[in-house]
């Protein structure tokens, strides 16, 4: 059994990890930390876990994380990098759901997250946690910085158009002029009291935010450059808050180049993702809905070319707490420990 610790078990990504790992046949949860709730039974805070999780929250000091095989950080930015070296020295593998090990440029990290990076040496070896793109590197990793929720939808939505593996080295689309119109449910803001995510504020409402710049923008651009194998990437990313709890819907717009005018894009996407257990390329003309992936680790994509013109529209949906966060973390855990990638992740989406 893989002994797992979770740092920060009281947030939405923490409880989602608990929900998934409680049903994982190869995992034993050793500890769940919370400084403020230490001593409280986990099932008291989250009754949905009654009968499944028989642990109490503990302080990080009492958790004995160094005795685990792997530790998830479901914490604010800055926590994982403060504990990374000690855990690695004890032979513990690290999976961070925050941003400490996503951006390779420490100056970019400081710019967007307002803090200095305290362990650039660990950052240098960290692998970006997007299994469909970095599967082989994740298998050998000691540290994985999980992809963000928006970045997962955008990168997987665009990868078949940019990857030389898929395009044969041809420039099918104008990578310097990509638009991502992305929407997220309120759980993406975390489990904290903020006016903007109160029910009376967010319900019956729809708004954009972060138009001048969002911290997921440099992460997405970094990932797209790596997928394409060059730096000629330009992205306009506009996130929106929608009056729902779970789900991300990204509508991506790209302009076709001359070499891409005669390509069968439905087949291109189907071929690229034909062996991916969690990516579903839907039939031509489909319009995927967020509720079709709610509670699952699935991501659904539909490809459209309106009027057979020079603009391609890609629709991508995922559950931001599962494929966009905790489920993807378990997917990486499976890879890191040589398990079938789908282990513990076969939950069917909840509908209605």
Q: Which residues are catalytic?
A: 149
Alpha-carbon distance of 102 to 263, in angstroms, equals: 33
Written as six digits, the tokens of 80 are 């994982």
The answer to whether 179 and 260 are in contact (CB under 8 A) is no
Q: Find the Cα–Cα–Cα–Cα dihedral 137, 142, 145, 147, rounded to 10°.
A: 40
Helical H segments across the chain, by residue range: 12-21, 42-45, 79-89, 106-113, 120-125, 131-139, 149-162, 164-167, 199-202, 216-228, 265-272, 327-336
Alpha-carbon distance of 217 to 237, in angstroms, equals: 7
Bridge-partner residues for 93, per DSSP? 70
Handedness of CA 197, 115, 5, 331 (dihedral sign): positive
């Amino acid at each position: 059994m893989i002994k797992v610790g979770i740092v920060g078990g009281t947030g939405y990504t923490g409880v989602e990890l608990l929900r998934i790992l409680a049903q994982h046949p190869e995992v034993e949860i050793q500890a769940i930390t919370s400084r403020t709730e230490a001593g409280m039974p986990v099932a008291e805070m989250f009754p949905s876990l009654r009968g499944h999780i028989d642990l109490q929250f503990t302080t990080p000091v009492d958790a004995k994380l160094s005795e685990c095989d792997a530790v998830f950080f479901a914490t604010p930015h800055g926590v994982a990098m403060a504990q990374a070296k000690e855990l690695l020295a004890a032979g513990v593998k690290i999976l961070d759901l925050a941003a400490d090990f996503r951006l390779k440029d420490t100056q970019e990290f400081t710019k967007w997250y307002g803090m200095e990076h305290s362990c650039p040496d660990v950052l240098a070896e960290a692998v970006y946690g997007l299994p469909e793109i970095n599967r082989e590197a994740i298998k050998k990793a000691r540290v994985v910085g999980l992809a963000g929720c928006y970045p997962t939808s955008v990168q997987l939505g665009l990868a078949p158009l940019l990857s030389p593996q898929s395009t044969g080295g041809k420039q099918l689309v104008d990578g310097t002029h990509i638009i991502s119109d992305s929407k997220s449910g309120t759980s993406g803001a975390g489990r904290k009291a903020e006016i903007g995510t109160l029910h009376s504020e967010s319900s019956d409402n729809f708004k954009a935010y972060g138009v001048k710049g969002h911290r997921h923008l440099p992460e997405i651009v970094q990932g797209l450059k790596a997928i394409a194998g060059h730096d000629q990437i330009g992205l306009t990313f506009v996130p929106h808050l929608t009056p729902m709890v779970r789900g991300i819907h990204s509508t991506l717009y790209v302009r076709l180049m001359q070499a891409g005018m005669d390509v069968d894009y439905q087949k291109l996407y189907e071929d690229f993702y034909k062996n991916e257990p969690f990516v579903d390329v839907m039939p031509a003309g489909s319009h995927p809905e967020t509720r079709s992936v709610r509670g699952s680790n699935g991501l659904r994509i539909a490809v459209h070319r309106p009027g057979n013109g020079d603009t391609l529209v890609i629709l991508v949906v995922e559950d931001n707490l599962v494929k966009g966060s905790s489920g993807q973390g378990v997917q990486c855990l499976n890879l890191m420990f040589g398990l079938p990638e789908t282990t513990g992740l076969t939950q069917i989406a909840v509908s209605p």
